[in-house]
Amino acid sequence: MAEPLTLEQAKAQLRVLDEDEDDLIGAAIVDARGWIENYTGRSFAEIVGDDEVPPVLLRAMRLLVAGFYGDRETGGLAGDVEVSARRLCGRFKVRKL
C-alpha cells in the first residue's frame, strides 16, 4: 500500500516548493502514518480496507506531518499537535475491554 498522503500533498500543506527537503518530508509522512497506526492499534490497511482514506485521517496525517516537520530539530511533536491528532483519530482506535 502506498502512503495515504503523497509527497506532493504534504509539500502543498507545508508550502514547500523546492526539492531540497523531500527526504525529510517523506520521512515525516512515514512517521505520521506510524503514529496513527500506533495510536489506533490498527494498520492503515485495516482501517481503510478497499475504501478511500477517510478525510479525517488525511487531516490528521497533514497535521502530524506539519508537526514532525516543524519540530524536525528535536524530533518530537508539540503537545497540541498530539492532542488534535488523538481527537481526529479517536473513532478508529481499537477499544480494549
How many domains does the structure of the chain reveal?
Answer: 1
Instruction: Judge whether 1 lies within some domain.
Output: no
What integer pLDDT is reported at residue 1 of this predicted model?
65
Q: Give residue for cell 497506526.
A: 37
Residue 64 CA to residue 56 CA, distance in Å, equals 12
Kindly report the pTM of this predicted structure: 0.89
For the chain (97 residues), the mean pLDDT of every run of 10, in chain order, is: 89 94 94 95 88 92 93 77 94 85
Q: What is residue 11's predicted lDDT score, i.e. its pLDDT?
A: 96
Give the range of the structural domain holding residue 25, as residue numbers without chain letter.
7-92
Within a domain: 2: no
In a domain, residue 26? The reply is yes
User: Cell for 4?
Assistant: 495515504
CB atoms within 10 A of CB 40: 20
